[in-house]
Structure 1
Amino acid sequence: MSPTGTTRLLPWQRPDGNPCFLVGDGSGFVSRLADEMELVQLDLAAELIEEARRVLDARTWTPGEIHLLAVELTASLVDVRRVAESRGARLSVLGDDGPEMGEAGERDGRPEEHVQAPPDPRDLVTPPAFAGITQTVLTNNPGMDRATAERIVVEAIKFEAACAQRPRLRLKPSRVVDEGWHALILHTRVKADLARKLGLFVHHVPEPPGPERHDPGALARTQDAIRAAGYVPDPELWAGPTDGTISVAATCEHSEPPPAGCGADCSNTGPN
Structure 2
Amino acid sequence: MTITHDRPTQVFELINPELRAELIADVRKSWPGLSDELGARGVHQLVAFLATSSGADVPMAPSLRVDLFWHAFVLHTKPYADFCAALGGFIHHVPDRDSRAPAEGRAALARTRNTISAAGYDLDPEFWPPESATDCSADCSQCHAGCSDSPVNK
How does the TM-score come out when normalised to structure 1? Answer: 0.47
**Any conservation in 2 of the 1:121–1:154 contact (CA below 8 Å)?**
no
Change (3 A) 1:171 1:183: same
Matched, 1:222 2:112: yes
**Distance across 1 between alignment mates of 2:69 and 2:48:** 11
The alpha-carbon deviation at position 227 of structure 1 amounts to 2.2
**Distance across 1 between alignment mates of 2:52 and 2:149:** 10
Matched, 1:251 2:142: yes
- The aligned residue for residue 93 of structure 2 is 204
- For structure 2, the 5+ residue unaligned runs are none
Residue type of the alignment partner of 2:135: T
Match of 2:47 among 148, 153, 157: 157
Change (3 A) 1:154 1:219: same
**Distance across 1 between alignment mates of 2:9 and 2:120:** 7
Match of 1:266 among 144, 147, 151: 147
Change (3 A) 1:187 1:236: same
Partner-residue secondary structure (3-state), 2:23: helix
Partner-residue secondary structure (3-state), 1:235: coil
Change (3 A) 1:149 1:242: farther
1:34-80 CA-to-partner distances (Å, cap 9, x unmatched) read xxxxxxxxxxxxxxxxxxxxxxxxxxxxxxxxxxxxxxxxxxxxxxx
RMSD: 2.8
The alpha-carbon deviation at position 155 of structure 1 amounts to 0.7
Larger-Rg structure: 1
Change (3 A) 1:207 1:243: closer
**Any conservation in 2 of the 1:12–1:229 contact (CA below 8 Å)?**
yes
**Distance across 1 between alignment mates of 2:95 and 2:137:** 22
**Any conservation in 2 of the 1:174–1:241 contact (CA below 8 Å)?**
no
Partner-residue secondary structure (3-state), 2:123: coil
> What are the residue-to-residue correspondences of 1:118-133 with 2, within 5 Å?
119=9, 121-133=11-23
- For structure 1, the 5+ residue unaligned runs are 1-10, 15-117, 255-264
- The aligned residue for residue 242 of structure 1 is 135
Matched, 1:179 2:60: no
**Any conservation in 2 of the 1:172–1:266 contact (CA below 8 Å)?**
yes
- The aligned residue for residue 25 of structure 2 is 135
Partner-residue secondary structure (3-state), 2:9: coil
The count of corresponding residues between Structure 1 and Structure 2 is: 143
Change (3 A) 1:200 1:129: same
**Distance across 2 between alignment mates of 1:199 and 1:121:** 12
> What are the residue-to-residue correspondences of 1:5-16 with 2, within 5 Å?
11-13=4-6
More strand by percentage: 1
- The aligned residue for residue 55 of structure 1 is none
1:71-120 CA-to-partner distances (Å, cap 9, x unmatched) read xxxxxxxxxxxxxxxxxxxxxxxxxxxxxxxxxxxxxxxxxxxxxxx626
